[in-house]
Structure 1
Amino acid sequence: MGATKIDRARVADTALRLLNEVGLEGLTLRAIARELDVKAPALYWHFKDKQALLDEMATEMLRRMAAETAGPAPEDWRRGLADAMSALRSHLLRYRDGAKVYSGTHYTDTSYAEPMERHLRMLVDGGFTPGTAARAWFTAYSYTIGYVIEEQAMGPDPSALPSGAEAAANPPADPAPYDLGARATRLAGHPLAVAAGEELFTRHDPGFRAGLAAVVEGIAATLHPDGAKRGESGP
């Protein structure tokens, strides 16, 4: 039997699949090599270390997301920005620790340029300057990444969730891994902190939407020329 042939694309695809089984901490080049039925040193021809592999994984995640969301952006920049961040969250949630993998990495090619240009153009056409458009985009992006990192820290991992028709027929309940009753007991005497538990640790979908709406309106009030002018003139 001949040696197994691998390339960067196959390694990244395998790593993304294995990520759902073992998580970011358990994802090692050795584990990926076992999955590919090759010796670990073979991977070093393609990736010098784990960070280089994470960079490629994040780039592949972006390629897949860009392919799914291709098309003209909405004329309404508020809707377009909210839709883009919702799509980003949805895609990151497909992978266990997806937001951790995606954040802080360096893309390995320029596949990010077209979607970035399209969304920045939407913001500029909506009245932002190039500089404030970039700041608006990064602000919403940072909120989304941070939210998903916290959300995924609470579980469940994607490998435990149903998929396809099964998922459509039996959508998973919003995870609540924390025992809110025990938390309330620990925090007795702090009623507002107790009440916050329901908002912080359950109902992630509406929580994300509410926070994103606040971010978008904050961007409109502080970074968009119309909002900035109203702020300068006072009530």
Structure 2
Amino acid sequence: MGAQRAANTTRRQPRPAITLEAVTDAALRTLQRDGLDALSMRRLADELSIQAPSLYWYVRNKDELLDLLADALLADLRLDAHVRTDGDWRTELRDMMLEYRAYLLSKRDSGRVLAGRLQLGPHFLRHAEVILGAVRRAGFDDQDTADSLYSLTQYVQGFVLHETSPLSADVARGADPKEFLEAARERLAGLSPEEYPNVVAVGARLARPDIEARFTYGLDRLLDGLRSRLENRHHD
């Protein structure tokens, strides 16, 4: 009977209080270890050793949790390491976006978490300040500066989302991506040149495995466009 009373007393003891920061940190750990599909309110509660209903004091649902994660994911990003004082804004922005992509690739499912979310958290704002500063110092007006931030960051996030998604159902089940691309190249090469003359002409390049080159090509064209716009404004 004494043992039962002791057990009841133990069960009545309140669990240690947790903070919103602790919830966010636990969500980040779960995301990195198990992926976004495995992240649920119940799984997060288990990670924190609390009952699932207790989580709703901190976040109302998974979408609200993802809003927190979208900013927390960026905590260790250091774009300010690429700030330049020599006026070479193109290299400055290019290095920042290369850093941004590499960073997001190191964070599991970051592209999926960030996709479509309007980010106004402190970490994103810190990085936005750095990027906007580089664009403004280059001489762009306020509208071009704002649009440049959106275009550059969304390009990186969208590309990361694309490159971290399975190429096909077979690849999602474990097939070798390189073998899939080789099969795709063979299929494209076997198309009718009369029906698909342009696809056949560049087919081998369409299915090339060099994702790094694809990323830098798109980034460089974005930066070329910004430079051209700046030059045209100065000539007006």
Which bin holds the TM-score, normalised by the shorter protein? 0.7 to 0.9
Aligned with residue 195 of structure 1, among 201, 204, 208: 204
Aligned with residue 50 of structure 1, among 62, 72, 87: 62
8 Å contact from structure 1 (residues 124, 133) kept in 2 = yes
Percent of aligned pairs with the same residue? Answer: 27
Q: How large is the Cα RMSD of the aligned pairs?
A: 2.5
1:184 corresponds to? 185
Give ranges in structure 1 of 5+ residues lacking alignment: 156-174
Whole-angstrom CA distance in 1 between matches of 2:75 and 2:221: 29
* 1:207 has 2:214 as partner: yes
Whole-angstrom CA distance in 1 between matches of 2:163 and 2:108: 11
- 1:78-110 deviation line (CA, Å, top 9, x unaligned): 112112211211121112211111232244643
8 Å contact from structure 2 (residues 45, 52) kept in 1 = yes
* 1:227 has 2:236 as partner: no
Cα distance, 1:206–1:184 mapped onto 2, change above 3 Å:
closer
Q: Which amino acid aligns with 1:124?
A: R
Q: State the 1:111 CA deviation.
A: 3.8
Whole-angstrom CA distance in 1 between matches of 2:119 and 2:180: 39
TM-score for both structures, normalised by structure 1: 0.76
Cα distance, 1:182–1:119 mapped onto 2, change above 3 Å:
closer
Q: State the 1:16 CA deviation.
A: 1.8
2:170 corresponds to? none
Cα distance, 1:146–1:178 mapped onto 2, change above 3 Å:
farther
Whole-angstrom CA distance in 2 between matches of 1:141 and 1:10: 28
Cα distance, 1:179–1:53 mapped onto 2, change above 3 Å:
same
Higher gyration radius (CA): 2
Aligned with residue 119 of structure 1, among 131, 152, 162: 131
Whole-angstrom CA distance in 1 between matches of 2:201 and 2:18: 55
Map 1:93-108 to 2 at 5 A.
93-107=105-119
* 1:153 has 2:165 as partner: yes
Give ranges in structure 2 of 5+ residues lacking alignment: 1-9, 168-175, 192-198
Aligned with residue 84 of structure 1, among 89, 96, 104: 96
Q: Which amino acid aligns with 2:23?
A: V
Whole-angstrom CA distance in 2 between matches of 1:39 and 1:186: 53
8 Å contact from structure 2 (residues 41, 55) kept in 1 = yes
2:194 corresponds to? none
8 Å contact from structure 1 (residues 120, 130) kept in 2 = no
Q: State the 1:178 CA deviation.
A: 5.5
2:30 corresponds to? 18
TM-score for both structures, normalised by structure 2: 0.76
Q: State the 1:154 CA deviation.
A: 3.5
8 Å contact from structure 2 (residues 36, 109) kept in 1 = yes
Whole-angstrom CA distance in 2 between matches of 1:209 and 1:179: 23
8 Å contact from structure 1 (residues 72, 118) kept in 2 = no
